[in-house]
Amino acid sequence: MNNQKKYILSGLVLVSFVGYAFFIRHQENEADESRVIAPKISATNLPTMMRGNNMMSNKQYKNGVYISSVTDAIYGPLQIEVTISDGKISGVKFLKYPNDRDRSIQINTQAMPYLKQEAIAAQIAKVDIVSGATQTSLAFREAMTSVLLQAK
């Protein structure tokens, strides 16, 4: 092989190696603990609602990174990865999503920076209808049932 080709090949190997190393480091930053691939969720191990049992206690869940199976979110496939640290949900990542957007989307644990943001400000135009929340149960915040069943 002549010298030119050698340099190009070395360059390619170097770039690939750097890219791979960066990927691995990136992955490590997402998870505090060892990676655990959870079993697929089938219809038989869907959560059941238990009367009178305290489903919503301050349970501690096993630390780790849990991946759900791919599920039909009505409009397309959805799959999430949940990180448990200190027994609590510390991160949520969407691995698969219905793709009806023009651009491909990478989601991490931060609010997506490219979504338009604004400070709210009073609007004084007349409206037909007003929409606002009524009291919503705080208990909903704790719910990650299907994935957390794996983390018990």
Partner 1 sequence: MGMPIEITIEDYKNTKIFNEVFNFFKYVDQKFSTYKTSSEVSIFNQGKIKLKDTSDDFKKIYKLCQKSIKYTFGFFNPSNKGYYDPSGLVKGWAINEASNIIKKSGSKIYYINAGGDVQTSGKLWKIGIKNPFKQTENIKIINIKDSGLATSGNYERGMHIYNPQNNFKKADDIASITVIAKDVYLADIYSTAAFAIGLKGINLIEMTKGLEGYQIDKSGIATETSGFSKYLCLN
| Residues in touch with partner 1 (CB under 8 A) | 41, 46-49, 51-57, 68, 71-76, 78, 80, 88-90, 92, 94, 97-98, 100-101, 105, 107, 109, 111-112, 115-148
Residues 1-38 as b or e (16 or more Cβ within 10 Å = b): eeeeeeeeeeeeeeeeeeeeeeeeeeeeeebeeeeeeb
CA distance 27 to 95: 13
Total Cβ atoms within 10 A of residue 151: 20
Closer CB to partner 1, residue 16 or residue 69?
Answer: 69
CB of 61 vs partner 1, minimal distance in Å: 12
Closer CB to partner 1, residue 4 or residue 44?
Answer: 44
CB 61 within 8 A of CB 151: yes
CB of 47 vs partner 1, minimal distance in Å: 6
CB of 104 vs partner 1, minimal distance in Å: 12
CB 79 within 8 A of CB 71: yes
Closer CB to partner 1, residue 5 or residue 116?
Answer: 116
CB of 129 vs partner 1, minimal distance in Å: 5
Closer CB to partner 1, residue 4 or residue 57?
Answer: 57
Q: What is the dihedral of CA 92, 96, 101, 103, to 10 degrees?
A: 80
